[in-house]
Amino acid sequence: MKMQTNPFLAEINEYFKEDGAWEKNKGRQQTKLFAYYFDQVITFPDQKFTLLDVGCALGQAAAFFSRRYPNASISATDISEVAISRCKRHYGELAHFFTADIENVSGFFDVIYCSNVLEHFLDFEEKTRKLTSCCKQLCIMVPYNERTHEGYKLTTDLTNIEHQYSFYEDSFDFLLEEGLVETIDSKIISCPGAWGYNRRQKITHGIDNFLRKILSKPRDHELLQIIFDIKTAK
Ligand SMILES: C[S@@+](CC[C@H](N)C(=O)[O-])C[C@H]1O[C@@H](n2cnc3c(N)ncnc32)[C@H](O)[C@@H]1O
């Protein structure tokens, strides 16, 4: 068995404890909302299919897909055994949950759904190659053109588990160049309540940017997500 080497595992587990930082930061609602917004963009036509949610946190997306596609077989995985144990308790009748590092995901699925996970890794390309080898359709959701509050592009910082990368329309083109996938479609969306602005926030954001312009400060970028719908060559 491969040893667990993730240096942040203890921190991640702490996050997912009952009433821990994940829940305090409304992580459960966020996961559910991401799945809801994803569903507005991508529908799976075949009702009988297998889906794996990679980086499932406390399981709200897996539960969402299970209810949305009652004939599908839903599995979900996360590196955090604390999160997975809670998933089993709450949603164990809806999906099959197991603990695994993204690098050790095995099996083959019609669909892999991976929402707001890959931006945390320096080696997101390697991890994505791995995921393409395990499915026919890889659906990735990540922040689009994320910036620092000062308006600069994100820089990598290996000392934390925060976002290391932001993504653009061509971020996964290397998969096409390497012949690992057949097509990649992408769509940029706003996810109010999760990662985006509602109408009131948009107005505040507009005023903030107007003031920034007057003060010659860089523009604050809108929070957006990008969904990649990747069909592998299998
Ligand atoms: C920001 S959360 C996203 C959760 C959920 N997918 C969503 O859309 O809200 C990132 C998740 O990835 C998991 N994760 C981090 N590193 C991982 C790894 N190496 N392998 C598998 N999961 C990992 C974390 O435990 C966490 O649940």
**Gap between the Cα atoms of 39 and 56, Å rounded:** 16
What SS3 state is found at 49? coil
* 42 falls within a domain: yes
Q: In the numeric block, which tokens belong to residue 7?
A: 């240096």
Q: Which atom of ligand 1 is nearest to the CA of 35?
A: 8
The domain containing residue 79 runs over which residues?
9-191+225-232
* 139 falls within a domain: yes
* 212 falls within a domain: no
* 215 falls within a domain: no
Contact 181, 32 (CB under 8 A): no
CATH number at 171 reads 3.40.50.150
Range list of β-strands (E), 147-196: 181-189
- Residue 5 has what pLDDT? 65
* 86 falls within a domain: yes
Residue 154, class by beta-carbon neighbours within 10 Å (0-12 exposed, 13-18 middle, 19+ buried)?
middle
**Gap between the Cα atoms of 48 and 72, Å rounded:** 5
Q: How many domains does the chain have?
A: 1
- Residue 132 has what pLDDT? 97
* 59 falls within a domain: yes
Looking at the whole model, is its pTM more than 0.75?
Answer: yes
* 154 falls within a domain: yes
Return the closest-CA partner of residue 104 out of 134, 73, 61, 137. Answer: 134
194 Cα–ligand 1 center, Å: 15
Kindly give the parts of the chain with pLDDT less than 70: 1-5, 234
141 Cα–ligand 1 center, Å: 12
**Gap between the Cα atoms of 21 and 68, Å rounded:** 28
- Residue 1 has what pLDDT? 39
Probe target for ligand 1 pocket from 32, 75, 78, with the most ligand atoms within 8 Å of CB: 78
8 Cα–ligand 1 center, Å: 12
29 Cα–ligand 1 center, Å: 15
Residues with CB under 6 A from ligand 1: 6, 12, 30-31, 34, 55-57, 61, 78-80, 83, 101-102, 115-117, 120
